[in-house]
């Protein structure tokens, strides 16, 4: 297992894509209680076993996102042990901190997630309690399609905990956006019902509610995790603290019929075999068809998961496959899927559910301001630098923004008022009054300010205040809806909030909440492949290459990220060795250095680090490459820098990278497919034909070279073919004779030698390309400490004068590179002599 998710599944049908976690809302059915006279008794029996769960959603390190007291998430759980063990959905608590559990009688407990299994979407929450009412679990074999069931949970709002909806079992063994089979029900399941109980009319739990189908015109379509799967996961949690899943090392692909929901007549195609895996050791290969696991036929991924969960790691299982038309059975000793351990987390601000308990003021320690913090004030967007922040009122009555810009303290009151009015040159304002009602300079002791009050169209009113302090302009802007502005009581409260703004921040005041997002430390970057890592805040992403390249402040250091798919059977060692050989083939030995790979661990998997250095003869560029393979993708992180900058700063960068690199499949673009590593396909000796009809020549150029074209005032065209450390250039001239071009070249070569005696050249008459008479110049020179050799051939053919220059730096003049350059020149032919 572990690597079995399939490209086919990712791009399945719109039906599968529309299945969402119950955070989506849809219509709910209504059932009369008289459908079953026993329903109230059943609910009385089961409801004490169902709890409501509430907590704070966790975020990444982006400080511009607000964690306020109103930003909460909730779901439902089912008591499984009287001492406070509760089962719920993994998606309910996976990203939840500061968990609070409320029982049906209204008792509140602090809790924490002890076990999370995302594959089954089940988790355990523990509270310190005793004497609770654990649920009674049914058997999946007793569940019948059409029997009456009830769903108990916390829909929509936490105030609606232990709500009940009634319906029937609509279907069994459903396969929808889940690793395992599900129960289908038409009992209404709404946002917040996740993790709650689906019970039968004996009061027994037959499933844990997990998702619903939400789409326009679709009703009564919810799903629950069957009780047998719940029991399987709970048993593993109890015995091992996690679900011990067998690992085969296969990525399996369903047939077209299975993807669209038709009965499939074929097995699962092996799309990828993880190197050094149990499957690889057993001889299972790409494109084999997996027919059965033990005695269980498998035609879908859900079939596979249901079959494999009957085994434990280190057990042997017979796997029947079809390979090249033959059916064979292979005995495989199963490995184990490794998952990170669940850790109890609490918010950085403490264990209290209210993140701002005790905070009556708010401010920014870096920019040095503070003000009152009413309970209903909610922070919205904040710039990465922290110089701009917005707030909204929880009831929607007003919004407030604070912006800090550099500005001279010498502005006069009139200039400041004019600035706040919002002239055409004013780049600060995104809310300019349509009508000014008040404009004045308020001489408040210690912090005078400019004040503008005006109407904002027909929607409301804007008050803007501007303060000048220590080279900064602090602009505080309040927008109030029209219906509330003319209420004297509320207007007094708005003015009180504005009057509380101060140009100071008391770090010793425990009632003051600091929202500063300014940081001189690290910034976390995440790309579409789920790769994340930390870089110093001073670094920036390249505006040309998106997330793939990053530079330090002076552009002397660079980090590049390359992500490709791991081809079936490829290994970490083989990949790193290919990269090493390419590097060694590019440079002459005295101009390069490279170390043997160093083993380390990145993102929880084995990795290799290779350190290298290269030069063209002037300055050495050093760097290192980090290689690792995870979830069928190859991740390469390359860092380069001037070798003379090596020291503690770069050591810190390496430590930061290796300690923060992570890969999260949840952050990966779900539309990603196979990304071919082009280095696996490149043949440095493969050539392509370049043909120039106008200037009547053709030649064979290595496919990996690049090309460019330029013109001069004489209609002379220059075509260049480039590679690292060299080029081949062909100039074709129809206006200048061969003899004149030779005279010009002779003069240029002599002038270069006279200007610098180190510039040495030779010239001679020669014959090239099977009989073409030419003038040959050969130069060996060191330019800017970079030694190079350049050979120039000048000749005439078809009444066209040609100049061909072959240049190569000494650093890359390997036998192979030189042979490719000479071979490219030797392939030059003229169209009137080419056989058609």
Top pLDDT among 7 and 483 is at 483
Using the 3D structure, point to which of 649, 680, 711 is the last residue of a domain.
Answer: 680
* 812 domain residue, yes or no: yes
- DSSP result, 198-252: EE-TTS-EEEEEEEEE--TT--S-EEEEEHHHHHHHHHHHHHHSS---EE--EEE
Neighbour count for residue 670 (Cβ, 10 Å): 11
- Tell me whether residue 780 is exposed, middle or buried, using C-beta atoms within 10 angstroms of its C-beta: 0 to 12, 13 to 18, 19 or more: middle
pLDDT at 564: 93
Residue 139's nearest CA partner among 183, 175, 81 is 183
pLDDT at 220: 56
Looking up residue 411, the CATH number of its domain turns out to be 3.40.1000.10
Looking up residue 268, the CATH number of its domain turns out to be 2.30.42.10
Do residues 245 and 317 touch, judged by C-beta distance below 8 A? no
Would you say residue 359 has pLDDT above 90? no
669 shares a domain with 572? yes
pLDDT at 265: 73
603 shares a domain with 480? no
Under the banding of pLDDT at 50, 70 and 90, the label for residue 271 is: confident
pLDDT at 12: 36
Pick the catalytic residue: 91, 112, 236, 484? 91
437 shares a domain with 473? yes
Using the 3D structure, point to which of 179, 210, 240 is the last residue of a domain.
Answer: 240
* 10 domain residue, yes or no: no
pLDDT at 636: 96
Under the banding of pLDDT at 50, 70 and 90, the label for residue 23 is: very low
Residue 783 annotated to the active site: no
- E strand map for 472-574: 472-481, 512-514, 522-526, 529-536, 540-541, 549-551, 558-565
315 shares a domain with 371? no
* 59 domain residue, yes or no: yes
Report how far residue 236's alpha carbon sits from residue 729's, in angstroms, rounded to the nearest whole number.
Answer: 69
173 shares a domain with 24? yes
Averaged pLDDT, 493-502: 91
* 100 domain residue, yes or no: yes
Report how far residue 493's alpha carbon sits from residue 316's, in angstroms, rounded to the nearest whole number.
Answer: 73
Mean per-residue pLDDT over the chain, rounded: 83
pLDDT in tens, 714-759: 445 789 999 999 999 999 998 899 999 999 999 999 999 999 999 9
Using the 3D structure, point to which of 680, 707, 740 is the last residue of a domain.
Answer: 680
Report how far residue 133's alpha carbon sits from residue 762's, in angstroms, rounded to the nearest whole number.
Answer: 98
| Number of domains within the chain | 5
Residue 402's nearest CA partner among 505, 249, 522, 490 is 505
pLDDT at 470: 86
313 shares a domain with 382? no
299 shares a domain with 388? no
Pick the catalytic residue: 117, 121, 387, 393? 121
Neighbour count for residue 200 (Cβ, 10 Å): 21
Residue 705's nearest CA partner among 689, 691, 724 is 724
* DSSP annotation of 691: E
Report how far residue 212's alpha carbon sits from residue 189's, in angstroms, rounded to the nearest whole number.
Answer: 6
Do residues 91 and 74 touch, judged by C-beta distance below 8 A? no
Would you say residue 178 has pLDDT above 90? no
Place of tokens 């399987």: 232
CA dihedral over 126, 109, 91, 171, signed as positive or negative: positive
Please state, for a pLDDT cut of 70, what percent of the chain lies above it: 85
Residue 644 annotated to the active site: no
Would you say residue 28 has pLDDT above 60? no
Residue 316: beta bridge partners? 333
Looking up residue 34, the CATH number of its domain turns out to be 2.40.10.120
Flag the least confident range among 448-462, 517-531, 566-580: 517-531
pLDDT in tens, 301-350: 888 888 888 899 998 999 888 888 888 888 888 888 876 655 555 555 55
Residue range of the domain that includes 168: 18-240
Would you say residue 836 has pLDDT above 50? no
Top pLDDT among 483 and 144 is at 144
* 724 domain residue, yes or no: yes
746 shares a domain with 810? yes
730 shares a domain with 672? no
Residue 91 annotated to the active site: yes
pLDDT in tens, 56-75: 877 544 444 455 666 778 88
Cut 0.75: pTM above it: no
Backbone φ and ψ for 480, nearest 5 degrees, come out as -120, 135
460 shares a domain with 323? no
Do residues 655 and 648 touch, judged by C-beta distance below 8 A? no
Per-residue CA distances from 453 to 72, 492, 775 (Å): 36, 15, 83
Place of tokens 């089940």: 122
* 343 domain residue, yes or no: no
* 563 domain residue, yes or no: yes
495 shares a domain with 573? no
pLDDT at 586: 93
Do residues 712 and 704 touch, judged by C-beta distance below 8 A? no
Pick the catalytic residue: 49, 120, 175, 194? 194
640 shares a domain with 495? no
Report how far residue 819's alpha carbon sits from residue 552's, in angstroms, rounded to the nearest whole number.
Answer: 38
Buried b (16+ CB within 10 A) or exposed e, 605-628: eebbbbbbbbbbbeebbbbbbbbb
* 2 domain residue, yes or no: no
């Amino acid at each position: 297992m572990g690597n079995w998710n399939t490209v086919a599944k990712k791009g399945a049908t719109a039906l599968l894509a529309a299945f969402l976690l119950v955070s989506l809302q849809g219509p709910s059915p209504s059932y009369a209680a008289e459908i079953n006279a026993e329903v109230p008794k059943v609910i009385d029996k089961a409801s004490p076993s169902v709890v409501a769960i509430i907590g704070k959603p966790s975020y990444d390190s982006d400080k511009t996102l607000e964690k306020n007291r109103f930003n909460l998430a909730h779901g439902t759980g089912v008591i499984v042990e009287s001492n406070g063990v509760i089962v719920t959905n993994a998606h309910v608590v996976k990203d939840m901190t500061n968990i609070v559990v409320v029982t049906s009688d209204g008792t509140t407990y602090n809790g924490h997630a002890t076990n999370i299994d995302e594959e089954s979407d089940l988790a355990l929450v523990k509270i310190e309690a005793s004497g609770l009412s654990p649920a009674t679990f049914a058997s999946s074999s007793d569940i019948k399609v059409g029997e009456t069931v009830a769903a108990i949970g916390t829909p929509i709002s936490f105030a609606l905990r232990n709500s009940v909806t009634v319906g029937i079992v609509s279907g069994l063994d459903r396969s929808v956006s889940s690793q395992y089979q599900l129960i289908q029900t038409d009992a209404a399941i709404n946002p917040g019902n996740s993790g709650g109980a689906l019970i039968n009319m004996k009061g027994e739990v037959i499933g844990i509610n997990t998702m619903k189908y939400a789409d326009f015109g679709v009703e009564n379509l919810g799903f629950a995790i069957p009780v047998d799967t719940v029991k399987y996961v709970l048993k593993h949690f109890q015995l091992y603290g996690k679900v011990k899943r067998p690992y085969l090392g296969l990525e399996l692909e369903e047939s077209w019929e299975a993807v669209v929901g038709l009965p499939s007549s074929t097995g699962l195609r092996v799309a990828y075999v993880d190197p050094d895996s149990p499957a690889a050791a057993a001889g299972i290969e790409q494109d084999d068809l997996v027919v059965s696991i033990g005695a269980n036929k498998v035609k879908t991924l859900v079939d596979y998961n249901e079959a494999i969960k009957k085994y434990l790691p280190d057990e042997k299982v017979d796997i029947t496959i079809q390979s090249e038309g033959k059916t064979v059975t292979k005995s495989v000793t199963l490995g184990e899927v490794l998952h990170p351990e669940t850790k109890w987390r609490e918010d950085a601000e403490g264990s209290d559910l209210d993140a701002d308990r005790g905070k009556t003021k708010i401010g920014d320690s870096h920019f040095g301001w503070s003000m009152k913090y009413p309970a209903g004030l909610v922070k919205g967007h904040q710039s990465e630098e922290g110089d701009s922040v917005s707030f909204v009122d929880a009831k929607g009555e007003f919004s407030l923004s604070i912006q800090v810009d550099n500005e001279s303290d010498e502005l006069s009151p009139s200039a400041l008022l004019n600035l706040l009015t919002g002239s055409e040159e004013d780049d600060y304002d995104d809310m300019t009054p349509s009508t000014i009602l008040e404009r004045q300079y308020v001489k408040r002791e210690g912090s005078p300010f400019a004040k503008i009050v005006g109407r904002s169209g027909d929607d409301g009113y804007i008050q803007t205040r501007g303060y000048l302090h220590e080279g900064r302009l602090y602009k505080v802007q309040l927008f109030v809806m029209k219906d509330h502005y003319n209420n004297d009581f509320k207007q007094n409260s708005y003015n009180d909030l504005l009057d509380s703004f101060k140009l100071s921040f008391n770090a010793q005041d425990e009632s003051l909440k600091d929202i500063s997002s300014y940081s001189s430390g690290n910034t976390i970057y995440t790309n579409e492949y789920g790769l994340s890592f930390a870089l110093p805040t001073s670094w920036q992403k390249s505006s040309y290459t998106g997330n793939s390249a990053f530079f330090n402040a002076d552009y002397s250091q660079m980090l590049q990220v390359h992500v490709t798919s791991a081809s079936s059977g490829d290994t970490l060692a083989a990949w790193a060795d290919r990269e090493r050989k390419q590097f060694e083939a590019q440079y002459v030995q005295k101009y390069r250095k490279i170390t043997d790979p160093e083993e380390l661990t990145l993102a929880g998997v084995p990795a290799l680090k290779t350190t290298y250095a290269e030069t063209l003869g002037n300055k050495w560029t050093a760097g290192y490459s980090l290689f690792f393979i995870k979830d069928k993708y190859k991740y390469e992180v390359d860092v380069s820098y001037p070798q003379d900058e090596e020291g503690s700063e770069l050591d810190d960068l390496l430590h930061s990278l290796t300690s923060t690199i992570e890969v999260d499949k949840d952050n990966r673009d779900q539309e990603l497919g196979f990304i071919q590593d082009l280095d696996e396909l490149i043949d440095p000796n493969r050539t392509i034909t370049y043909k120039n009809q106008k200037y009547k020549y053709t030649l064979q150029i290595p496919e990996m070279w690049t090309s460019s074209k330029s013109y001069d005032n004489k209609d002379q065209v220059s075509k260049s073919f480039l590679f690292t450390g060299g080029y081949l250039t062909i100039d074709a001239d129809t206006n200048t004779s061969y003899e004149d071009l030779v005279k010009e070249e002779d003069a240029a070569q002599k002038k270069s030698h006279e200007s610098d005696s180190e510039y040495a050249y030779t010239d001679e008459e020669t014959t090239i390309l099977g009989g073409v008479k030419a003038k040959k110049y050969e130069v060996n020179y060191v330019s800017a400490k970079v030694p190079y050799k350049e050979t120039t051939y000048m000749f005439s053919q078809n009444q066209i004068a040609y100049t061909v220059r072959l240049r190569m730096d000494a650093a890359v003049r390997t036998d192979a590179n030189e042979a490719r350059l000479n071979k490219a020149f030797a392939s030059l032919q003229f169209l009137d002599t080419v056989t058609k």
